[in-house]
Structure 1
């Protein structure tokens, strides 16, 4: 028991040192996604083309990538997908994507995509990329696989053909997804307005027992939303800030967010979102991208796993599994296997479940508090060493007294 406690303390200490916050800087939406993590991600991902955040006026649609990632992705390893897929691959669950659409010619999604309206084409590529993170099937010689590779995808437009979302499109997309029976609804957008309209759409989805998942921060900020001196907005962002929506923030291979990531607003869950590798809107090649929207896609895929493994659970119970069986950190980190296998205590009262989003204080401390964070990590390691020495002092004398150790040892 003592050795288990020591191991746990060391693990917590290492985790504490891994969540030191990264500095923030402006990331504007008319640029491609920040790819600062390429050097720390899989070596095979370094040469992949970056996924556009949003297309500018007159910019051509994203073409098929000619590059392929052959190595397993860091995010798959971090989430323990090999172990999780022994329990579930999301079969029988439909995940709706309210995003830029999903391309019809993506081999890793072949035969499992249903598109509403014009969502069968994807000019920017973001929706297809997110769909790959959620449900890409394994392919021979390729390292990319989604969290729920047997789930079905319902593609619904939530943006214009340039990738710009609107309150009306997103709200209609949520309603249409729930009406068509989606059990998980992924929303790729962050909106500064539209609380009432989006709350009504989410309430409809809740009544239809669908879990809505959305990013707690934008991948990039439009120039017109920057402050007078270029300051980044700090939210709230809708629909993620609504109490019935699972709000998700990203981290990268190094355990922190990308350097120029826009601030997140009260996230409930953290998931891989930096240096992510997935499919494009057409063809069999791969792209690389970063952002909270990609972390939300991972959480949506994990929700599909839980819904397939526990078909008797309601959407709210699935959300509780994802949150309470997560890995403890400043912001709890997604653990798909634990979400499926953990038996939680009896559910709390409905009023407690519907409580407001966690306060902003749960976000990692700002950079000037790094020494304190590192100090806590060092203190935890020191405590583990003290316990280890103390345990040795207890075990050895007892061993001699009971004859467990030979004389003279």
Structure 2
């Protein structure tokens, strides 16, 4: 039941949060704050489906400002790229996504609303009277169910969703699930998607866990969580408005990148109203939108190259921080040039050839002979006169 779910950011999800309207003039100064309903993580048995929100946020999201979205969208809007959302589905009749959603099977019905919410973060187009805009507002969305109708995921559903997304040509595959089992099945699906040149992005930790699964310190179970911890999957953790990371990295592995994920505003499963929510799954949606921008701006890049752009052009931190503009505009060294740089050795030091010592040796020899002659002549000048004076007789004792 929902009462047993402990949310990572209680101030946002367990209570409504005030969202101030964007101030475009003095007339708006007296407007009351807008209180948005919280997005449910999962639905309990018998709980009704999430309905259309009657509230609309008119302010520009803090996450868009944190990501430099205005500048990034001057380079790309995600046109021509398909982002698969393997989650609870994406509801039909959402104006901000109108005409750009293709749903497989029954994925056009989203009872919990989470899939619709993340689809809005990824690809919502601007609407009159709304401050919401997705990272890639011209990208297409492929909706695929990876959960049951209550929002509970399974490895089988998620793995099949990844395969279906790759088979249908999605360049970016967002997975909202965090699973503690099913590694082998999910790894096979991820390998299949990599062979289809799809970039898979998933949250590094759950947004919420049942209270009975929490540790004595109130933290969720140790990771790793799948599919985020699989090789090749871009794993994402969230940070908040104050720049502080909201989720602790699971001890068993290190997430690849962090992105905004606290106090996020997006659409519900129907209508034009908005909800508010928090968690790593929402940060992963931001990364998926950024990946769509990169792949649209650099259509010649492979999925692995796009992943490298997101990681190596990110803002440096203990866990790199997502920077969509840098990911599109930074020119990274190629593997060949990098290996050439790493393999290059400085030229060996060359000592000058020793000078010819012949003249110096001859000079020293001549000087030595000359000195010997002088000493002999001097000695003769003393000895010879004395010898003559004694008749060459030895001195008397």
Q: TM-score, normalised by structure 2?
A: 0.77
Deviations 1:94-117 (A, max 9, x none): 000000000001000000000000
CA RMSD of the aligned region, Å? Answer: 2.3
* 2:313 pairs with 1:325: yes
| Distance in 2 separating the partners of 1:77 and 1:35 | 23
| Paired positions, count | 323
Deviations 1:69-97 (A, max 9, x none): 00100001111111111100000000000
| Distance in 2 separating the partners of 1:299 and 1:39 | 26
Aligned to 2:28: none
* 2:11 pairs with 1:36: yes
| Distance in 2 separating the partners of 1:58 and 1:31 | 20
Q: Secondary structure at the match of 2:118?
A: helix
Aligned to 1:226: 214
Question: Taking structure 1 as reference, are residues 248 and 220 closer, same or farther at Cα in structure 2, changes over 3 Å only?
Answer: same
How far apart are 1:224 and its partner, in Å? 4.5
How far apart are 1:223 and its partner, in Å? 3.3
| Distance in 1 separating the partners of 2:198 and 2:281 | 19
How far apart are 1:336 and its partner, in Å? 0.3
| Distance in 2 separating the partners of 1:270 and 1:114 | 28
Structure with higher RCO (Cα < 8 A, 6+ apart): 1
* 2:302 pairs with 1:314: yes
Larger Rg: 2
What does 1:165-184 align with in structure 2 at a 5 Å threshold?
165-184=153-172
Aligned to 1:400: none
Aligned to 1:275: 263
| Distance in 1 separating the partners of 2:18 and 2:94 | 24
Deviations 1:244-274 (A, max 9, x none): 100000001011134xx46544111000000
Aligned to 2:197: 209
Deviations 1:109-139 (A, max 9, x none): 0000000001000000000000000000011
| Distance in 1 separating the partners of 2:105 and 2:248 | 32
How far apart are 1:243 and its partner, in Å? 1.0
* 2:178 pairs with 1:190: yes
Question: Taking structure 1 as reference, are residues 46 and 235 closer, same or farther at Cα in structure 2, changes over 3 Å only?
Answer: farther
| Distance in 1 separating the partners of 2:18 and 2:166 | 36
| Distance in 1 separating the partners of 2:217 and 2:278 | 25
| Distance in 2 separating the partners of 1:191 and 1:262 | 17
| Distance in 2 separating the partners of 1:331 and 1:95 | 25
Instruction: Say if 1:33 and 1:289, in contact at 8 Å, map to a contact too.
Output: no
Aligned to 1:294: 282
Question: Taking structure 1 as reference, are residues 338 and 28 closer, same or farther at Cα in structure 2, changes over 3 Å only?
Answer: farther
Question: Taking structure 1 as reference, are residues 104 and 299 closer, same or farther at Cα in structure 2, changes over 3 Å only?
Answer: same
What does 1:20-99 align with in structure 2 at a 5 Å threshold?
30=5, 34-37=9-12, 42-44=19-21, 47-99=35-87
| Distance in 1 separating the partners of 2:10 and 2:214 | 21
Q: Is there any run of 5+ residues in structure 1 with no aligned partner, and where?
A: 1-26, 352-409
Q: Secondary structure at the match of 1:47?
A: strand
| Distance in 1 separating the partners of 2:20 and 2:273 | 16
Q: Secondary structure at the match of 1:204?
A: helix
Instruction: Say if 2:6 and 2:211, in contact at 8 Å, map to a contact too.
Output: no
Query: Deviating runs (4+, > 6 A) in structure 1?
Result: 38-41, 348-351
Q: Secondary structure at the match of 1:271?
A: strand
Q: Is there any run of 5+ residues in structure 2 with no aligned partner, and where?
A: 22-32, 340-397
* 2:227 pairs with 1:239: yes
Q: TM-score, normalised by structure 1?
A: 0.75
| Distance in 2 separating the partners of 1:125 and 1:348 | 46
| Distance in 2 separating the partners of 1:300 and 1:197 | 23
Instruction: Say if 2:34 and 2:56, in contact at 8 Å, map to a contact too.
Output: no
